[in-house]
């Protein structure tokens, strides 16, 4: 999808601080608040901006255990199993993957017994053939930065043009 420079500027600013007002964005980008509002609404309508939120430090709230659970699922039942697992409030990521396993589940817990229960629940599914669970020891990086990603893309584009 082609985005204008204004779209990218707005996305960059909002990715750093989703609470910025149209007035503040307009001031920073030297546009009118009405124009900024129009751009933001268009980005929302296109599904590029899906929502606004906060970044929560789950560890500070006691959710110190992060688990990655690899699944092998019977053919034809992958989406059904994944959608059911995704309903669990501990689960924050469900992905189809390539390789030895079919799916990857990311989940957070306060206690080992909560993790144990989820793994037991998953293994009880009729179509789950096996699981392989990993516990994260240290988080080095979590999340991504839209502004850093855009800097990288701009540098690649500049390099291509100069070649």
Q: According to CATH, what is the number of the domain 58-135?
A: 3.30.70.920
The pLDDT of residue 136: 97
What is the pTM assigned to this prediction? 0.82
- Decide which of 1.10.150.570, 1.10.10.10, 3.40.30.10, 2.40.30.110 is the CATH code for 1-55: 1.10.10.10
**Residue ranges of domains in the chain:** 1-55, 58-135
The pLDDT of residue 143: 86
CA nearest neighbour of 16 among 48, 45, 55, 42: 55
Same fold, 1-55 and 58-135: no
Mean pLDDT of the 67-91 span: 96
- Is residue 151 predicted with pLDDT exceeding 80? yes
- Is residue 160 predicted with pLDDT exceeding 90? no
């Amino acid at each position: 999808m082609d985005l204008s420079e204004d779209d990218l500027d707005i996305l960059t600013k909002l990715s750093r601080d989703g609470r910025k007002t149209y007035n503040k964005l307009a001031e920073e980008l030297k546009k009118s608040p009405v124009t900024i509002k129009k751009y933001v609404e268009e980005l929302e309508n296109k599904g590029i901006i899906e929502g606004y939120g906060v970044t929560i430090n789950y560890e500070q709230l006691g959710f110190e255990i992060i688990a990655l659970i690899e699944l092998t699922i019977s053919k034809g039942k992958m989406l059904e199993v994944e959608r059911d697992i995704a309903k669990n409030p501990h689960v924050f990521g469900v992905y189809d993957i390539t390789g030895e396993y079919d799916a990857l589940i990311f989940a957070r817990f306060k206690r080992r017994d909560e993790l144990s229960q989820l793994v037991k629940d998953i293994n009880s599914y009729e179509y789950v053939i096996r699981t392989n669970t990993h516990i994260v020891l240290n988080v080095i990086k979590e999340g991504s930065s839209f502004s850093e990603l855009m800097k990288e893309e701009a540098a690649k584009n500049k390099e291509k043009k100069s070649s």
